[in-house]
Every structure is written in C-alpha cells, then in structure tokens.
Structure 1
Amino acid sequence: MDALIVRERRDLSDGREVKGAAMRARLRTATEELIAEVGVAATSAAAIAQRCGVSRGAMLHHYPTRDELIIDTAAHFWQRQRETVAALAEDLSAGRTNVGTFVGRLYDEVFRANALVTMLDLMVSGRIDTRVGEAVNRILADLFHSYGDLGERAFAAEDLAPERIRTLVTLIVSTLRGLRIQDNIDRDETRVRAVLAMLGEAVEALLERDRRTPDVRRVRPARARSGVRT
C-alpha cells in the first residue's frame, strides 16, 4: 500500500499522470462517502463510478477490481491520519499547544473524519471478505503502531518510559474511538465537549502523578565515573 502512495507522489512530482492521480483521488473520495453512507456490501463498482461521474470502464482503468480500490482508499486514509497526528504531536512536543487542546484537536481532526466510519465498516466486513479484511487489518496495525511512535514524540518532554507513554496513548485513542462511535449513534455536542474536557484533565492528572513517580520515568544508563582512583 505504501508503494502505491510513493509511486503516486513520484508521478505528481515529475509531471506524469497528473490527471490520473486526480481521478484516483476522486474515486477514493467517492468510495469513502459510499461506504460511510450505505456500507461496504452496497458499495459496488457501478455505484462508485456513478457517484464519481465516470464510466465503469474509466474506473477499472485505474483500479482493475473493486477490492483494489477499497484497499487503496484505506491506505490513503492511513496516510492522512498519520500525517495529521504527526503534526499534532509536533505541536504538543514543541509546547505550541497543551494536552487539552491536543486531545480536542485529535478528536476533531482525526476521529471525527467520515473516513473513520468507513474504516470501521471495513474492519467488520473483513470477517467476510478475507482479502479486503487482511489488507485493512495490516493497515490498521501500522496505524496503531504509528500512534505509539507519535505519542512518544508528543510526550517526549515528560521523559517517561516508552511503555508508559504507549499506555497513555492507548487510553487517549481508545476513549476517542469509543466517543466517536457513541456520537455517531446518538449525537450530542455538549456531551462530546464535556468528555473531551474530562479526558484532557485526566491525562494532565496522570502526567502530574507520573512526574513524581520514579518507577515510570525513563531509565537512563549511569554516567561513567571520571577521575583518578586513589
């Protein structure tokens, strides 16, 4: 999946396939929208082509099968998510934002994306469609692993042990994912903001406690002694 993205960016950079890249982007957008609206099973190649306003033949020229289009859509979703989280992590690490703002922006810019509903549906459908399911599971595994890496960057200033940071990131991500599912079923913006504020306060409290707890600090090798022994 990463190879497709790298190739597409290379094609854009040297001026080749600009129109083709634009068409593939349109097809991926149509695929995301349809899966979010009607589910994977009802998202046929014909429906995607119709939503995109192109012939089915034109679509198949870029993606020979529906599965390839769905898998590439998931791969690009992963890449967008990672880039967004990386920017948020950099802001927190550099002190340009605080934990509460970081949590709120993470929810609004990542977890509230319609594509997240698409990915959740793809996860469920993967139990039936082995090829799509296996590909999506690999993409999600990479995504969740990157969350841990980006979390270490975001909270680097706290000087906590990597495993402690990854646990903290899991708490944040799991809560936001659950909140997104809940809000998709029963929308309540006041409740969403209250939960985000509470999560931010909880994370701040955990960090404050960890600052006073040697057991969760990063273990650093002892410095070599200098001087002449007598």
Structure 2
Amino acid sequence: METLLLRNEGETADGRELKGAAMRARLRAATEELIAEVGVNAASAAAIAQRCGVSRGAMLHHYPTRDDLIIDTAAHFWRRARDIVATLADDMSAGRTDVATFVDRLYEGVFRANALVTMLDLMVSGRDTRVGEAVNQILTDLFRSYEDLGVQAFEVSGLPPERIRVVITLIVATLRGLRIQDNIHRDEARVRDVLAMLVDAVQTILAKESDAAPKPRAGTTRRRP
C-alpha cells in the first residue's frame, strides 16, 4: 500500500509538472502574439491572460510578474531559434542542404516567427528596463551563436572564419530587415524575390572568395576554426 501511495504521489506530481509546462507554453505563445500585434506597452498582464483564456491569478501563479513572463518568453525564443540554426549548420556542413535551403529555412523558422518582432519591440521599447536589458543580452547571445554556427555551416567553402562571419552578418541583417518590412507591408512575391537575390549574392561571394583563398599545400590539412 505504501509503495502504491508513493507511486500515485509521483504520478500526481509529474502530472502537475506537465500541466504547468503546458500552461507556461500557452502563456508564452499568447505573449508573443499580443506584443507582435499591439506592442509591448499595450500587452498588459490582464490582456495576456485574456488572450490565453485564463484568469490573471492563474497566470501569476506561473509568473509572479509580467516582466518574468516576458523574459521567459524571450529566453524560450532564443533556445528555439538556436536549435533551428544548429540543425541547419549540421545539415550544411554535412552536405545535406544548400545555400538556398539554408536561407529559406532560416527565414521561415526564425525570422518569420511572431517572436522576432516581439523581441525587437521589447529591445527598443524596453530600453533601460529590466526586460530591455534581459532581451538585449538574449539577442546578443543569439546573434553571436548565428556567427559561430555559420562558421560551422560554411567552413566547407574554404573561406577563413572572419570572412564567413561577414557573410553571416549579410544574411542575418537582410533577413531581419525583410521581416520588419514584411510586417509593415506584406508582399509574398517581394519576399521570395529578395530571398532569391540574397541566395544569388551569397553564392557569388562564396564562389569568388573561395577561388581567391590560398589553397592548402599538398600533404597539409586545413585546421578547423
């Protein structure tokens, strides 16, 4: 009987944990959507709770303050975005994907998410606040990881790491600007044209700089960065 009680208590605890995780995920999703739609200042705790379909008390049970919820939403976005980029880097370095697929999946999986607009709005509107400082650090870490993973993804091109970082900056800056423009005026045909032009530019740069890069001497191997 004692063993059964312990097992049931464990199952109940696990069940509560799963329900709590599911509720936090719903609250983060509602936060992303609301800030993307109305901006951070209008995304009050009451509005987020209403969007999520829960009471404000239920929300505060999981996040004592609105700032806690917003910061956790930003941190979750960082983890999700980094996982996507890490998978893309693995596929690129292993030859399982090409530049066009890399750019398209990066845009669709990371930059087109509501969270990106949310994060940028938080960084600008929340400047010099606890939320703004936290989001700024999260995005700084995220873009640094883009560069590091980009070196892994494009090292087969033969370019030195410092030049690959420039290429990654070009890709990220273009996709970020395209997402902001698309948020202001949605035009899918223009998005596709810009992505195609970006792919052409990156392929041209990689080919040109790879041809110009010094080739390793016979019997030597290139060091991994």
Return the offset for 1:213. Answer: 1.6
* Aligned AA (1:139): I
SS in 1 for 2:170: helix
* Aligned AA (1:164): R
Matches within 5 A, 1:1-16: 15=14
SS in 1 for 2:81: helix
Cα distance in structure 2, aligned partners of 1:70 and 1:100: 33
* Aligned AA (1:178): G
Cα distance in structure 2, aligned partners of 1:190 and 1:19: 41
SS in 1 for 2:28: helix
Structure 1 runs of 4+ off > 2 angstroms?
none
Q: 2:186 maps to which residue?
A: 187
Percent pairwise identity: 74
TM-score (norm 1): 0.84
Q: 1:199 maps to which residue?
A: 198
The answer to whether structure 1 residue 67 and structure 2 residue 87 are counterparts is no
The answer to whether structure 1 residue 96 and structure 2 residue 91 are counterparts is no
Return the offset for 1:77. Answer: 0.6
Matches within 5 A, 1:110-125: 110-125=110-125
Cα distance in structure 2, aligned partners of 1:191 and 1:33: 24
Kept in 1: contact 2:39–2:121 (CA 8 A): yes
Matches within 5 A, 1:204-223: 204-214=203-213
Q: 1:94-122: per-residue Cα shift (whole Å, max 9, x none)?
A: 11111112111211121111111111111
Cα distance in structure 1, aligned partners of 2:33 and 2:190: 26
Aligned Cα root-mean-square deviation (Å): 1.9
- Structure 1: 5+ residue stretches without partners: 1-13, 224-230
TM-score (norm 2): 0.86
* Aligned AA (1:196): L
* Aligned AA (1:80): R
Cα distance in structure 1, aligned partners of 2:24 and 2:186: 32
Cα distance in structure 2, aligned partners of 1:174 and 1:214: 25
The more displaced of 165-174 and 109-118 is: 109-118
Return the offset for 1:58. Answer: 1.2
Return the offset for 1:197. Answer: 0.8
Cα distance in structure 2, aligned partners of 1:23 and 1:108: 26
